[in-house]
Amino acid sequence: MYQVKPISGREIHVDLPTCMYRLPNIHRDDGDRDHAFQDAEADPAVKALEARQDEIMRRLYELKAAVEGLSKTITTPDADIDVAHLSEVVNSKPLAGTADLDILLGKNYGALRDIVINANPSHPPLSLLVLHCLLRERFHVLSTVHVHSSVSNVPPHLLACFEEQDKNQSRHDFQLGFTLIWKDVPTPQMKFSIQNMCPIEGEGNIARFLFALLGQQQDPITATLVDSWIDMAIFQLAQGSSKEKAAVLRTINAALGRSPWLVGAHRSLADIVTCCVVLQAAGPVAIPANVQKWMKSCENLPEFNGVYKLLQ
């Protein structure tokens, strides 16, 4: 609309910034680069960050070494050294002698020591029946079977799982009672002394209690290996997926390739529980050759006769 004369008679050059802030160029020459590095090294914050990183790496290496050490003691199918390898150095002893029931179960004041086990007939605890046979070899056992009202139908072979006994004998003539009650329970339960102890649940835990009555002495390594095999059988083989069952069977097969039994040169509780679980839970999973041979050896033992009859 109208023209205004310029204020200045010449063009004014304004140096505008091209970045938010300036940094020294580390590519110009060696002198400038060394100077920049020296400034960074002198920064206390950078030194503190480097020290923190070194401490974290040191702790990670220590944790790695600790985990590697633990992996050599944990006996699982995925461990570096499992029970299949450790069983070579175990020297277990066969069953011998008779346990003192007064020491194991307390003083007997006239009443019969009666072990009462509740079990579901849809999943009979085979290992407990094997241990019952072993107990009868060492003690005068009164064996009885009952049916709870929660169960409507029990197969005849489960009602006759114990051998016939002389009914004319008095209860005081026996050293130990073994009462099996077929009941609708999720897992086997055992009661011995209602006043002094809580119930023991789980087939593996009850098997440990009954096996202790046989009086076999075990060193800590053997006992730990036996417990590992039992837990592996109960929790992975009996309750695991097909993949877990196959992995456990491979571990068992590797152990039996080194010794005739799972722990050492003699049959132990690990063989009893694991064999019974394989008989019930293997299903369609292929059984390796060493495991088949081992199961045949268990079948030839007299205490397994009743178990195989129940499966027929």
How many angstroms separate the CA atoms of 312 and 310, rounded? 6
Average pLDDT score over the chain: 80
Kindly report which listed range (19-33, 36-50, 53-67, 188-202) carries the lowest average pLDDT score: 19-33
Confidence (pLDDT) at 81 = 39
Contact 270, 263 (CB under 8 A): yes
Q: Per-residue pLDDT for 92 more than 60? A: no
Would you give the end-to-end CA distance of the chain in angstroms?
114
> Higher model confidence: residue 220 or residue 99?
220
* H or E segment and range at residue 45: helix 44-71
Residue 90 clears pLDDT 50, i.e. is over it:
no
Tell me the per-residue pLDDT of 156-173, one tens digit each, with 9 for 90 and over. 888 888 877 666 777 778
Rounded CA-CA distance 283/203 in Å is: 19
Q: Is 120 helix (H, G, I), strand (E, B) or coil?
A: coil
Q: What angle do CA 266, 269, 173 make, to 5 degrees?
A: 105
The helix/strand/coil state of 67 is helix
Q: Is the pLDDT of residue 234 over 80?
A: yes
Return the pLDDT at 104: 67
Mapping DSSP to helix (H, G, I), strand (E, B) and coil, where does residue 99 land? Answer: coil
pTM greater than 0.85: no
So what's the pLDDT on residue 21? Answer: 76
The tokens describing 203, both together, are 């087939």
Check whether 152 has a pLDDT greater than 50. yes
| Rounded mean pLDDT, 95-122 | 72
Nearest Cα to 119, choosing from 206, 183, 190, 202?
A: 183
Work out the number of other CB atoms within 10 angstroms of the CB of residue 266: 16
Model confidence at 99, in pLDDT bands (50, 70, 90)?
A: low
How many separate helices (H) and strands (E) can be counted in the chain? 12, 5
